[in-house]
């Protein structure tokens, strides 16, 4: 193999492809990136057997060929080369020479025959979606994914597709995040659980204006956008019946400005310096005010938001980080906050519509 390509473009692409490289494996080939040069293109593939990423960049292919190179070493070399065109050549013994400017490296490659090919997805279900919409859905929900080993179905986001609607949901037992959009088309209902890692890496690939094609089989999903392809295993199992935990009616229904609430909670969090003095942020609703307060070993803080609380009279506590995560995920200038008792969850929705929902369980106030 002998090629010449842009150092900038190769470095930019490697930063994405390396996300699907195994960091520690008994098989050295899984710690590498597969390179294949042919017909004016350099194909790059990574595969850790859970997710795989494939993409192409333009290259001047002097001699076609294939090789696997250690990902950590390759990315380190390319990143630190002069910002010029890079020459990569591989001899019959897999000795790979990388040159740019006056810099020259020689590293030993691995046979491409040992690299596991990405699975062919014979999609039984396909849908095309705006990349910006999917990227937004991921960012508004994935933070609520559980990291518990004993509940694998919660270690990813539920993606539900129904006629006229697509919805993404994540929950970890203490909070729930949901984002949905209207879509055109009479799609058959389907539900899949996509691992958090795959979603996070996909969001780095997605842009705002183009379309992404989603192909789904029984155990895998493939996302194709621009010149990137990401394939992931799906999490098997039945997702929690999350709709049953969302209250349908509320004793307290308040409209509140998002940024004012966020800044009050953030200021209250400044005296929570570590887990030893972790205390809930308290909200007290009364007489057209929301009193935000917190008290720890380091000190105490009080703040007030003026809004129409109607006849509300309730004091309730929440984890500060869960509150801030939920508020960050809200769109618009104001939100609707629904509450019942001090032991019931807080539900945050738009003032109008139903494109997002955040639910947070309260923390017991000492």
Structure confidence by residue, pLDDT tens digits, 72-131: 999 999 999 987 899 999 999 999 999 999 999 999 999 999 999 998 887 788 999 999
Q: What is the pLDDT of residue 208?
A: 82
Domain range 125-243, CATH class? alpha beta
**pLDDT over 80 at 146, yes or no:** yes
pLDDT-based confidence at residue 273 (cuts at 50, 70, 90):
confident
Q: Tokens 């609607």 sit at which residue? A: 165
Where does 2-114 sit in CATH, by number? 3.10.150.10
d(CA 174, CA 169) in angstroms, rounded, equals 14
DSSP type of residue 210: S
pTM above threshold 0.85: yes
E strands present in 260-307: 281-286, 289-296, 299-306
Q: HSE, CB side, 13 Å, CA atoms: give it for residue 50.
A: 16
* CATH 3.10.150.10 residue ranges for the chain: 2-114, 125-243, 246-360
3-state secondary structure of 68: strand
* CA-based nearest residue to 215, from 191, 237, 231, 239: 231
Q: What is the pLDDT of residue 57?
A: 96
**pLDDT over 80 at 276, yes or no:** no
Q: What is the pLDDT of residue 209?
A: 82
* CA 343 vs CA 174, 249, 356: distances in Å: 13, 15, 23
d(CA 259, CA 40) in angstroms, rounded, equals 50
Classify residue 200 as exposed, middle or buried by CB count within 10 Å of its CB (0-12, 13-18, 19+). middle
* CA 119 vs CA 36, 50, 122, 244, 283: distances in Å: 17, 11, 9, 37, 51
For the CA atoms of 262, 264, 265, 269, what is the dihedral angle to 10 degrees? 130
Domain range 246-360, CATH class? alpha beta
């Amino acid at each position: 193999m002998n090629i010449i390509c842009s150092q900038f473009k190769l470095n930019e692409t490697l930063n994405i492809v390396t996300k699907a490289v195994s960091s520690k494996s008994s098989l050295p080939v899984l710690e590498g990136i597969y390179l294949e040069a042919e017909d004016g293109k350099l194909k790059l593939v990574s595969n850790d057997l859970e997710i795989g990423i494939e993409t192409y960049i333009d290259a001047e292919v002097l001699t076609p060929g294939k090789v696997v190179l250690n990902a950590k070493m390759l990315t380190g070399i390319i990143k630190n080369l002069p910002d010029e065109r890079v020459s990569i050549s591989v001899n019959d013994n897999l000795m790979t020479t990388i040159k740019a400017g006056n810099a020259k490296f020689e590293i030993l490659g691995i046979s491409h025959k040992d690299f596991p090919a990405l699975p062919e997805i014979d999609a039984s279900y396909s849908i095309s979606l705006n990349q910006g919409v999917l990227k937004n859905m991921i960012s508004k929900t994935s933070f609520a994914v559980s990291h518990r080993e004993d509940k694998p179905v919660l270690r990813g986001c539920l993606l539900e597709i129904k006629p006229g609607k697509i919805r993404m949901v994540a929950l970890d037992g203490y909070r729930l995040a949901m984002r949905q959009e209207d879509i055109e088309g009479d799609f058959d209902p389907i539900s899949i659980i996509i691992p958090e890692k795959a979603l996070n890496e996909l969001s780095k690939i997605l842009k705002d204006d183009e379309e992404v094609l989603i192909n789904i089989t029984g155990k895998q999903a493939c996302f194709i956008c621009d010149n990137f392809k990401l394939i992931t295993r799906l999490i098997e199992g039945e997702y929690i019946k999350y709709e049953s935990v969302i209250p349908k009616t509320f004793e307290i229904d308040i409209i509140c400005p998002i940024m004012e609430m966020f800044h009050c909670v953030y200021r209250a969090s400044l005296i929570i310096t570590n887990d030893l003095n972790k205390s809930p942020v308290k909200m007290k609703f009364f007489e057209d005010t929301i009193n935000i307060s917190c008290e720890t070993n380091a000190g105490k803080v009080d703040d007030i938001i003026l809004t129409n609380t109607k006849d509300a009279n309730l004091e309730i506590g929440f984890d500060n980080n869960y509150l801030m995560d939920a508020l960050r995920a809200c769109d618009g200038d104001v939100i609707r906050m629904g509450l019942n008792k001090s032991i019931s969850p807080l539900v945050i929705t738009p003032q109008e519509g139903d494109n997002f929902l955040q639910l947070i369980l309260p923390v017991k106030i000492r």
